[in-house]
Amino acid sequence: MVNQTKGTGQSIYRRGADDGFWIGIYLSVMCVAMFYSVHSALSGIATLGMALAVPFIIFFLLRRSYRADNCRTQFSGLWLHGICIFFFASLLMALTAYIYLRFIEPSYINNVVSFAKEFYSTVDTPDAREMVTVLQRAQDTHSLPAAGSFAVSIIWAGVFSGSVLSMILSMIIRATTRPTMPPPPPAQMQ
């Protein structure tokens, strides 16, 4: 049976939603930095740094939850907590991406494809020429992803990758984290 409470009596889903909200804000900022990296190399470096920090942040959140339950949470409960974090965080990130791609910079995907075509056209190999042809065909047939489909892809990718990451981190946390011993009872004076 999945232990669904911790010291504060919150369910796994509630904790996942609470933690997912804050991670969602973090991932939304990372998403905007990624979109802006086309215009600024510093944004690309910031995006990479933020992405590399995600496993450490999730480790901290899951370990905090595990310790709050005095290390009694089952593996499945800890893993589910991580999945919930990524589900709710991915919803916020997808909403941010949708708003950005739909209203702020609607030509972003087309501009990135054009940039990729320019890059591949400078490489003189048969594979690069084929890639230019494929990208040009996608632009000509208007088959580039729309903001909505891009947002749905973010949700799927976020939940899948978050599930795998949470599984690995849950195993590590359960193997390395020990319960904190309660303080000894005070000495009684006689």
pLDDT > 50? residue 6: no
The span from the CA of 66 to the CA of 80, in Å, is 12
Burial of 187 (0-12, 13-18, 19+ CB in 10 A): exposed
Q: Distance of CA 124 to CAs 59, 64, 130, 131, 137, Å?
A: 44, 53, 11, 11, 19
Q: What does the pLDDT read at residue 60?
A: 97
Confidence tier at 189 by pLDDT (50, 70, 90):
low
What whole-number distance in Å separates Cα of residue 46 and Cα of residue 95? 21
Determine the pLDDT at residue 26: 98
- Sign of the CA dihedral 148, 150, 154, 157? positive
**Dist. CA 12–CA 148, nearest whole Å:** 29
Question: Is the per-residue pLDDT at 4 higher than 50?
Answer: no
| Helix boundaries (H) for the chain | 12-36, 41-68, 75-99, 108-121, 126-140, 147-176
Residue 162, token pair as written in the block: 């978050």
As a whole number of angstroms, the distance between CA 188 and CA 190 comes to: 6
**How does pLDDT run across 18-31, given as a tens digit for each residue?**
999 999 999 999 99
Mean pLDDT on 3-10: 52
Residue 9 banded pLDDT, cuts 50, 70, 90? low
| Model confidence, pTM | 0.86
Report how far residue 108's alpha carbon sits from residue 3's, in angstroms, rounded to the nearest whole number.
Answer: 45
pLDDT for residue 5: 44
In whole numbers, what is the pLDDT of the chain averaged over residues? Answer: 91
What's residue 8's pLDDT? Answer: 52
What is the per-residue pLDDT for 145? 93
Q: What is the pLDDT of residue 182?
A: 66
Distance in angstroms (rounded) separating the CA atoms of residues 57 and 2: 23
Domain ranges of the chain: 12-106+146-176
pLDDT reported for residue 1: 38
Q: Are 92 and 28 in contact (CB under 8 A)?
A: yes
